[in-house]
Every structure is written in C-alpha cells, then in structure tokens.
Homo-oligomer: A and B are copies of this chain.
Amino acid sequence: MSNLEEKRIQTEKVYSGSFLDVRKDTVKLPNGESSTREWIKHPGAVCIIPLLKENFILFIRQYRYPIRKHMIEIPAGKIDAGEDPLTCGLRELEEETGYVAEKLTLLTTIYPAIGFTDEKMWIYIAENLTKTKPKLDKDEFLEPYPLPLDKALKMVWDSKINDAKTMIALLMFSQLKNFNL
C-alpha cells in the first residue's frame, strides 16, 4: 500500500461564523507538488439510538434547513469543548427528547463527509430510559417520533429515512443479536 499522505504546509481560517469554521490549507502532495485543500473544522458529534419498550425506537422529526426538508433522525448533537462523547450523548438525549438513559453502549463511529470535513460521529445505543423534560435551544424545534424497528428499517429501504447517520444506526442495530427489543 502506498503512502498517499498530503502534508500540511500552511493553514488559514477563511471564514469563522457562529457555527462553521472554514479552513484553507496549502498541502504538499505525494508527488512533491503543492495544492490547496478547503475543509470545515468540526468538534465531532454524538448520535443516540434510544430504545423504548415494545420494540420502539425514539426518533425525532425536525426541519433541516440546508436541504429544506423535514427529516426523521435519531437524536444527535455536537460535542462541547472538552466534553467526552459519552457525556455528550447523555446530555443531547436528555435535551432533545427529555429522556435520561441508564446505559449507553457504543455501536460504531463514522465519518459522514470525508471530502470536506473532519467531523466524526459516535453512535450509541441507549437503554433503560426514564422520562424527564426536554431542554431545547431557543432556535431548535423538533418533535418526538417513536417508530417500531421493523417499520423504521422499511423506511430506510423505501428512502423515507435517508439521513446517513440514522441509516447506519438502523442497518447495524437491526443485525445485533444481543438486544432484546
């Protein structure tokens, strides 16, 4: 296997908004030439598969402005500075759904868009949920959307669930043998 590494020569912050941090780097290519790479610096995110009773999973439904569509997704959110993924998962689950989980189990980690961001996502399974109260950000609007696993999986195959993190969560979780839904 070849070493195809692109080495950083220089980095520049070309846009820093309230949400997006855009970088433009000069890199040395494997052939010795130089080129530029533009990318979004991201703190990482955590996604949760909340297991309810009787084979239901607690999805959320929200409007996603970049694609201008209502989407059905598993709860997820960005990691705060210095926060570990597990703490973030518990926090985001409670904020978005109003459930506290007794147990989180890591299902997998994914890179959603390696062409232009360093975002990494941790996907956890959440069990033994207790209801408290959601605490949404003031510009965050979403609603709970519980679905049985088999119906949600069918929606993946019918392109009614087409958010990448939610698809991976469902396709992998449905193949596990050690969760008694």
Please report A residues at the B interface, Cβ cutoff 8 Å: 1-2, 4-6, 14-15, 17-20, 22, 24-25, 27, 29-31, 33, 35-40, 45, 61-68, 70-71, 73, 108-120, 138-139, 141-143, 156-157, 159, 162-165, 167-168, 171-172
Contact = CB atoms under 8 A, between A and B. Distances in A.
Contacts of A18: 36, 38
A12 B2 CA distance: 42
Contacts of A4: 61-63, 70, 141-143
Given A113-B113, A114-B66, A19 B40 contact: no
Majority SS of interface residues in chain A? mixed
A141 B3 CA distance: 10
A22 B22 contact: yes
Contact of A24 (B5, B17, B117): B17
Contacts of A156: 172
Number of copies: 2
A32 B180 CA distance: 43
Contacts of A1: 61, 70, 143
A114 B64 contact: yes
A147 to B, nearest CB: 13
Contacts of A6: 63, 65
6 smallest beta-carbon distances between A and B, as pairs: A39-B66, A15-B15, A4-B63, A171-B171, A64-B114, A35-B139
Contacts of A36: 18
Given A17-B24, A25-B65, A73-B114, 16 more contacts: A4-B70, A6-B63, A15-B22, A22-B22, A39-B65, A64-B115, A66-B114, A67-B120, A71-B111, A71-B114, A112-B112, A112-B164, A113-B117, A164-B164, A164-B165, A171-B172
A24 B15 CA distance: 11
